[in-house]
C-alpha cells in the first residue's frame, strides 16, 4: 500500500478507500489487529544508536588525539609526570565533551516522535472512538476538527471549510484549504496536494475526515526521519585542518627525532641514553601539545560571546565554521519573514493606500467587512485562527479600535462558510439599529462577478466598467508584488433568510463593493541590512522555501537577495530542479539565488551541490522539512522561537531571537575565532621550530645541548598561557571586509606558513647567537663555568624570546602598535606569569641543580632581554615589507 500513496491524491476517494481495503464505517477490530502486526505501530523509529562507551572510544580515533597520547607517553618516559597528566586530562575532557555533543545531536529523531498527536478520533466498527495515535493503522478513518493534529498521512473523504497549517513540513506560510476532489496533475509538491493531510500538521479551521494511507516511517514525516538517519555527519573545516596538520606534524616529528638521534650517535660524544632522551625531548618540543586545549578554550570563549548575542552554539567547531562560510541558504518562512500575515496595502474609495499605519474608514463598511466576516477568536490577548483573518483583526487593534466590543455590538446571526470552489465567505450580523448587515469576503475575480454597486466615500452608486478595470488593475499590481489580495463587499437587509435560503445562489449577489486588502508575510525589518552586510563580507545569501515562486521572488527582491536586473532567471522551482541531473545542477547552481516550491530532498541537493563546488554552506531553517538539510550543511542554524525541536536538534547553532542579523554577528565571531586560533598556531609552531633548530644545530656543532627538563619547562610556561591568551584577542579592524576563506583554506594559509618558517629560524638564530656570544665573551675564566653560563643564557633566551614573540603573534600581518600592545588584559597577565615562572628557575636558589642552570649577571640578563627585543623589531620590519609588497592586511 505504501508504494501507492504518491498517486492517491490523483484518485477519487472511493478508489482510495478500495485500495486501502476500508469503508466509511471504518475497520473492524480484527482488521486493526492484523494491520498493526503487519505495519507496526504508528511511530517513528531510528537506527541503532551507539552506546556511550562506543562513542567515548571513537573520540580517540582522531590523529591529533593519538599524537597527544604519544606525547603523554614520551613526557612520562622523560620523567615529566605533571606534563603527561596535563596532556591526558585534556584528551579525556575532549573525549567526554565529544560524547556529550554527539548524544545531544541524536535527539532529532526523538523530537519528531514527540510531535506526534497522542490521541486521535477514528471510526471503527461504525462507531467513533478515541485511540492512541500509535495504534492507528492504514485504512483507519480519522475524524478531524479545528485544533487537532493530524495523526498520520490521510486522503480526505470530507472537508467542510477545512484548513490545515503545514508550514513545518512544506514551508507554506498560509494554511491550506483542503478539498476532497482528486487532482490530475502528476508529481506535485506536497504543498499542492490539497486532498491529502500529513502527519503532525495542524488543523486551524473547519472539520473533515480521511482514510489513513501511511503510518509511522511510511509518512512524509517518516521519510524525513529516514533522511536524518541516513545523513552523514559533515567534517568541519576546523576538523579537516587539524587532521591535516596532525598528519604533517607526525611525519616531520619522526624524521627530525630520527635525524638528531642518528647525528648524535655518529659524533660519538653522547651516550645512547642521552641521545634517546634528547630525541624524545625534541619530539615533545615539536608537538604543539597545547593546541587542542587552546582550540577548545578559544571555541568555548567564542561560544560564550556569541550566546550574549543570542546565537547559541550546540557544537563547538560550528563557531569556527561560521567564519569560513561562503553560502547562507536560508528558509523564508519565519526566518527571513515574520511568519505572520500582515495588512500591507488598502484600496478603498477607489484609491490605493500603501501606508497602512493610517486610519482608513474605521467607522465605515470596510471595517465592518474586515472584522465581522472573520472567525478569529480572542484568548487572553492572543488572536487564534487563520493567519489571514487574524491579520485583518490585528490591523484594527494596531489602530486602537475596541475590536471585541465592536463584535459584541454586532452579533453574527448566520453565515455561509468559505468554500474553496466559490472562494467566498458570507456572514449576517445584526447592526445596533437592528438591520442586518451582510458581509462578503473572497477572491477579487469571484467577488466582482456578483457586484452591482460600489461604495465611494459613503455614496453608493452603480459600478461602472471603469470601476471594474481600476479594481482589477489594482488587484493585478498587488498580486505581482506577491501580496495575497482579498476583496470586500456588503449589503443591508431587514432580516436573516431562512436556513433553506442560506445558499450562495440566493444570497451572494447584488453586492456593494467596498475595497481590496493586500496582505503578505512581511520580511523581518533587520534582514535587509543583514543581507547587505553578508554580501559585503563576500557571503552569498540564497532563499530556499516551499512557498510559491512569485511570493518568494518578491520577498527576495525586497531583501536584496534577488538581483532585480536578472529577474526570474535566478528563481528555480522544485519541479524544475527535478528535471536537472546532479551533474547539470552542480554546473548551474551558481545561477540561482531563490528556490521555490521545494521538497526536503531538494534542500539537501542544493546544499550538496554547493559543497561539491568547494563551498562552505550554512543552512537556516525552522521546520521539520528543514532538518535533513540542516544536518547535511556544514553548519545548520535553527530558529529558537519559531523553530521545531526537530530543526533545533539537527542544528549546530540556534538563534535564540530568530533574528537573521544575528547570523552576521556570529560570522564575525567565527572569523575572529579562526584568526585567533591561527595566531596561536603561528606562535606555537614558530616557537617549537625555534626549539627544534636550536637543538639540531647544537647537536651538529657538538655543543652542549639543552636538557630535556629545560625544554619541557620552556614548553610548559610558554606554550600554554600565552597561546590561550592569543585565543581571546579582540577582533582585528576590517575583519568583515575580507572575503570568506572557503573550504580550501587552512590555518597555514594566508602567509602563516612562511611566517612560521622565518620566525622559527629567527628564534633559533638569536638563541644560538646568544650562546655563541656567551662562549666567545665568557664572564668566568673556567671553560666549564663558561659553557654552563652559555647554556643557561641560551635557555633563558629561548624562553623569554617566545614571550616577546607572543606580542608579534597578536596579529598576522598588521603592526602590533596598530592593534594595541596591552588591550588584552588576560594576555598581559599570562605573559607576566610565564616570565616569572621562567626566571624563577634561574634566579631562585635551589632550582639551579634541578634545571641544570647557573645564576646570571645583570649584563648577561641584558643580553638575553636584548635578544627578545630584537625578535620584535625584526618581525615588525618583515611585516612592514609584507604589507607594502604583497598588500597584506
Residues with catalytic roles = 331
Q: What's the CA gap between 837 and 841, in Å, rounded?
A: 7
Q: What are phi and psi of 25, to 5 degrees?
A: -90, 0
Strands (E), 171-301: 176-177, 196-197, 202-214
DSSP helix, strand, coil percent of the chain (3-state; round to 5): 55, 15, 30
Buried b (16+ CB within 10 A) or exposed e, 193-225: bbbbbbbbbbbbbbebbbbbbbbbbbbbbbbbb
Q: What's the CA gap between 810 and 755, in Å, rounded?
A: 13
CA max distance for the chain? 125
Tally of CA atoms within 13 A in the half-sphere of 633 that contains its CB: 33
Q: What is the signed CA dihedral for 54, 56, 62, 64, rounded to 10 degrees?
A: -160
Please name the helix (run of DSSP H) or strand (run of DSSP E) that holds residue 419, with its range, or none.
strand 412-419
Helix (H, G, I), strand (E, B) or coil at 313: strand
- Closest among 605, 645, 603 to 620, alpha carbons compared: 603
Helices (H), ranges, 720-782: 721-726, 752-776
Q: What's the CA gap between 430 and 450, in Å, rounded?
A: 22
Helix (H, G, I), strand (E, B) or coil at 560: coil
Please name the helix (run of DSSP H) or strand (run of DSSP E) that holds residue 618, with its range, or none.
strand 617-621
Q: What's the CA gap between 427 and 662, in Å, rounded?
A: 45
CB 690, CB 802: distance < 8 Å: yes
Q: What's the CA gap between 101 and 715, in Å, rounded?
A: 31
First-to-last alpha carbon distance for the chain, in angstroms, is 63
Phi-psi category of residue 171: left, alpha or beta, with phi > 0 → left and psi -120 to 50 → alpha = left
Residue 163 in grid coordinates: 484548513
Residue 263 in grid coordinates: 647525528
**Three-class HEC string of 128-179:** EEEEEHHHCCCCCEEEEECCCECCCEEEEEEEEEEEEECHHHHCCCCCEECC
Q: What are phi and psi of 23, to 5 degrees?
A: -135, 170
Q: What's the CA gap between 71 and 276, in Å, rounded?
A: 15
- Closest among 238, 204, 182 to 19, alpha carbons compared: 182
Residue 100 in grid coordinates: 556529550
Amino acid at each position: 500500500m505504501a508504494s501507492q500513496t504518491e498517486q492517491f491524491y490523483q484518485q477519487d476517494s472511493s478508489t482510495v478507500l478500495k485500495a486501502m481495503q476500508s469503508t466509511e464505517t471504518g475497520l473492524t477490530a480484527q482488521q486493526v489487529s492484523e494491520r498493526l502486526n503487519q505495519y507496526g505501530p504508528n511511530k517513528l523509529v531510528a537506527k541503532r544508536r551507539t552506546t556511550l562507551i562506543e562513542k567515548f572510544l571513537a573520540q580517540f580515533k582522531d590523529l591529533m588525539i593519538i599524537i597527544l597520547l604519544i606525547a603523554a607517553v614520551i613526557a612520562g618516559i622523560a620523567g615529566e609526570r605533571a606534563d603527561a597528566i596535563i596532556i591526558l586530562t585534556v584528551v579525556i575532557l575532549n573525549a567526554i565533551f565529544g560524547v556529550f555533543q554527539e548524544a545531544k545531536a541524536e535527539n532529532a529523531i526523538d523530537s519528531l516522535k514527540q510531535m506526534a498527536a497522542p490521541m486521535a478520533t477514528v471510526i471503527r466498527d461504525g462507531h467513533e472512538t478515541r485511540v492512541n495515535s500509535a495504534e492507528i493503522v492504514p485504512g483507519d478513518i480519522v475524524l478531524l476538527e479545528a485544533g487537532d493534529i493530524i495523526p498520520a498521512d490521510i486522503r480526505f473523504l470530507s472537508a467542510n471549510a477545512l484548513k490545515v497549517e503545514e508550514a513545518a513540513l512544506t514551508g507554506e506560510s498560509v494554511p491550506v484549504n483542503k478539498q476532497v476532489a482528486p487532482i490530475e496533475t502528476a508529481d506535485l509538491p506536497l504543498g499542492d496536494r490539497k486532498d491529502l493531510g500529513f502527519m503532525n500538521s495542524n488543523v486551524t479551521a473547519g472539520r473533515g475526515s480521511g482514510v489513513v494511507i501511511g503510518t509511522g516511517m511510511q509518512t512524509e514525516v517518516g521519510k524525513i526521519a529516514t533522511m536524518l538517519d541516513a545523513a552523514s555527519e559533515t567534517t568541519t573545516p576546523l576538523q579537516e585542518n587539524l587532521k591535516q596538520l596532525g598528519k604533517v606534524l607526525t611525519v616531520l616529528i619522526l624524521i627530525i627525532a630520527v635525524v638528531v638521534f642518528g647525528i648524535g650517535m655518529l659524533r660519538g660524544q653522547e651516550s645512547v641514553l642521552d641521545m634517546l632522551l634528547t630525541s624524545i625531548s625534541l619530539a615533545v618540543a615539536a608537538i604543539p601539545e597545547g593546541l587542542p586545549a587552546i582550540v577548545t578554550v578559544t571555541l568555548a570563549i567564542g561560544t560564550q560571546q556569541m550566546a550574549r548575542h543570542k546565537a547559541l552554539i550546540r557544537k563547538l567547531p560550528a563557531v569556527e565554521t561560521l567564519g569560513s562560510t561562503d553560502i547562507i541558504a536560508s528558509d523564508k518562512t519565519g526566518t527571513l519573514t515574520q511568519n505572520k500575515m500582515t495588512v500591507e496595502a488598502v484600496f478603498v474609495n477607489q484609491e490605493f493606500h500603501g501606508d497602512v499605519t493610517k486610519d482608513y474608514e474605521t467607522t465605515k463598511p470596510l471595517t465592518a467587512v474586515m472584522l465581522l466576516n472573520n472567525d478569529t477568536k480572542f484568548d487572553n490577548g492572543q488572536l487564534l485562527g487563520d493567519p489571514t483573518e487574524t491579520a485583518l483583526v490585528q490591523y484594527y487593534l494596531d489602530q486602537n479600535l475596541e475590536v471585541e466590543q465592536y463584535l459584541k455590538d454586532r452579533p453574527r446571526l448566520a453565515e455561509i462558510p468559505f468554500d474553496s470552489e466559490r472562494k467566498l465567505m458570507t456572514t449576517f450580523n445584526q447592526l445596533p439599529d437592528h438591520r442586518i448587515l451582510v458581509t462578503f469576503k473572497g477572491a477579487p475575480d469571484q467577488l466582482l462577478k456578483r457586484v452591482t454597486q460600489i461604495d465611494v466615500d459613503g455614496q453608493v452608486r452603480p459600478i461602472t466598467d471603469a470601476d471594474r478595470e481600476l479594481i482589477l488593475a489594482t488587484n493585478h499590481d498587488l498580486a505581482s508584488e506577491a501580496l495575497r489580495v482579498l476583496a470586500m463587499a456588503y449589503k443591508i437587509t431587514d432580516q436573516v433568510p431562512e436556513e433553506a435560503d442560506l445558499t450562495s445562489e440566493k444570497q451572494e449577489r447584488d453586492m456593494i463593493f467596498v475595497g481590496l486588502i493586500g496582505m503578505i508575510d512581511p520580511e523581518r525589518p533587520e534582514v535587509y541590512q543583514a543581507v547587505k552586510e553578508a554580501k559585503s563580507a563576500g557571503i552569498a545569501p540564497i532563499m530556499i522555501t516551499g512557498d510559491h515562486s512569485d511570493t518568494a521572488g518578491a520577498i527576495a527582491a525586497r531583501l536584496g537577495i534577488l538581483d532585480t536586473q536578472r529577474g526570474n532567471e535566478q528563481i528555480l522551482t522544485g519541479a524544475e530542479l527535478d528535471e536537472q541531473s546532479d551533474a547539470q545542477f552542480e554546473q548551474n547552481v551558481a545561477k540561482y539565488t531563490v528556490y521555490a516550491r521545494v521538497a526536503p530532498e531538494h534542500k539537501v541537493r542544493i546544499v550538496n551541490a554547493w559543497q561539491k563546488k568547494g563551498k562552505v554552506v550554512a543552512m537556516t531553517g525552522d521546520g521539520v522539512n528543514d532538518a535533513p538539510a540542516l544536518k547535511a550543511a556544514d553548519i545548520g542554524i535553527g530558529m529558537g522561537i519559531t523553530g521545531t525541536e526537530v530543526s533545533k536538534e539537527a542544528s549546530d547553532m540556534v538563534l535564540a531571537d530568530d533574528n537573521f542579523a544575528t547570523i552576521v554577528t556570529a560570522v564575525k565571531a567565527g572569523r575572529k575565532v579562526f584568526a585567533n586560533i591561527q595566531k596561536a598556531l603561528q606562535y606555537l609552531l614558530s616557537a617549537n621550530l625555534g626549539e627544534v633548530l636550536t637543538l639540531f644545530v647544537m647537536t651538529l656543532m657538538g655543543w652542549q645541548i639543552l636538557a630535556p627538563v629545560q625544554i619541557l619547562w620552556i614548553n610548559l610556561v610558554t606554550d600554554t598561557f600565552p597561546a590561550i591568551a592569543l585565543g581571546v584577542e579582540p577582533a582585528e579592524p576590517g575583519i568583515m571586509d575580507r572575503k570568506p576563506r572557503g573550504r580550501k583554506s587552512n590555518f597555514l594559509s594566508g602567509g602563516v606558513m612562511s611566517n612560521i618558517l622565518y620566525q622559527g629560524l629567527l628564534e633559533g638564530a638569536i638563541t644560538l647567537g646568544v650562546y655563541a656570544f656567551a662562549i666567545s665573551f665568557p664572564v668566568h675564566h673556567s671553560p666549564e663555568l663558561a659553557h654552563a653560563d652559555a647554556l643557561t643564557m641560551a635557555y633563558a633566551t629561548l624562553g623569554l624570546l617566545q614571550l616577546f614573540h607572543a606580542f608579534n603573534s597578536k596579529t598576522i600581518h598588521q603592526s602590533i602598535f596598530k592593534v594595541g600592545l596591552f588591550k588584552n588584559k588576560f594576555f598581559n597577565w599570562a605573559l607576566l606569569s610565564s616570565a616569572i615562572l621562567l626566571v624563577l628557575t634561574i634566579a631562585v636558589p635551589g632550582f639551579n641543580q634541578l634545571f641544570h642552570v647557573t645564576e646570571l649577571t645583570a649584563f648577561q640578563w641584558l643580553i638575553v632581554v636584548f635578544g627578545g627585543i630584537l625578535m620584535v623589531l625584526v618581525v615588525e620590519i618583515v611585516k612592514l615589507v609584507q604589507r607594502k609588497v604583497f598588500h597584506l592586511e
